[in-house]
Amino acid sequence: MQNNEALEIIFTRHTVRHFLNKPVALELLETICRAAMSAPSACNKQMWQFVITTKREELDAMIEFLPNAKMLASAQAAITICGDPAEDFGFYWQQDCSAATENALLAAHALGLGACWCGLYPREERAAATAKFLGIPENVIPMAILAIGYPDPTVGEKPKDKWKPEKIHYDHW
Ligand SMILES: Cc1cc2nc3c(=O)[nH]c(=O)nc-3n(C[C@H](O)[C@H](O)[C@H](O)COP(=O)(O)O)c2cc1C
């Protein structure tokens, strides 16, 4: 394997669901959004929007309607990634947002933070409840919420080895 800083970040990123009680500076959350916005997008339409949440009571309140995001209880921040479909190329908004989400996860890891991608859309009830809670306009769709914080080292969450050479097909399947 090649020795390379960017690849090291990619290979060691993993989901973190247990966080320290240590605030995350807004500047870092904005850097994560900047990384997300550096993602490729269909026809460069950048069909994404971001909502940063840092208030403890808001993070706790979201758990009430997001049973899949219980780790928000120890997270210090959340970034909700929303699709804002363009009139043309709108059908690619999920791909745009997914590319942005992965960039955000990698940036969080590179900054020494941990994060968990919690799915919203296409789970209509989760997307609708999140949109209502965050005051997201009708034409904008929350796709994922990222729980973010400094990883709790005592829990020992680790990257998984997912290398499966049999998943690669050469020339023909
Ligand atoms: C589309 C998508 C939705 C996900 N939704 C959730 C979720 O709702 N709650 C959760 O705890 N993890 C969620 N995850 C995180 C996955 O469980 C995690 O990425 C997977 O187990 C692989 O682990 P790793 O990220 O450490 O490699 C989601 C990941 C993706 C890509």
Which of the listed residues 15, 65, 105 should we mutate to test ligand 1's pocket, taking the one with most ligand atoms within 8 A of CB? 15
Query: How many other β-carbons are positioned within 10 Å of the β-carbon of residue 114?
Result: 26
Token pair 């080292």 is at which residue?
153
pLDDT greater than 70 at residue 53: yes
C-alpha dihedral, 92 to 93 to 95 to 98, nearest 10°: 180
158 lines ligand 1 (CB under 6 A): no
Which has the closest alpha carbon to 25: 52, 59, 61, 60?
Answer: 52
The pLDDT, as a whole number, for residue 3 is: 78
- Report which residue type is found at 122: P
Global confidence as pTM: 0.97
Distance 116 CA to ligand 1 centre (A): 7
List pLDDT tens digits, range 70-110.
Answer: 999 999 999 999 999 999 989 999 999 999 999 999 999 99
Class of domain 12-151: alpha beta
Residue 84 tokens read as 């804002």
Residue spans of the domains in the chain: they are: 12-151
DSSP string, 85-103: --SSSGGGHHHHHHHHHHH
160 lines ligand 1 (CB under 6 A): yes
104 lines ligand 1 (CB under 6 A): no
Taking CA atoms only, the protein residue closest to ligand 1 atom 15 is 117
List pLDDT tens digits, range 107-158.
Answer: 999 999 999 999 999 999 999 999 999 999 999 999 999 999 999 999 999 9
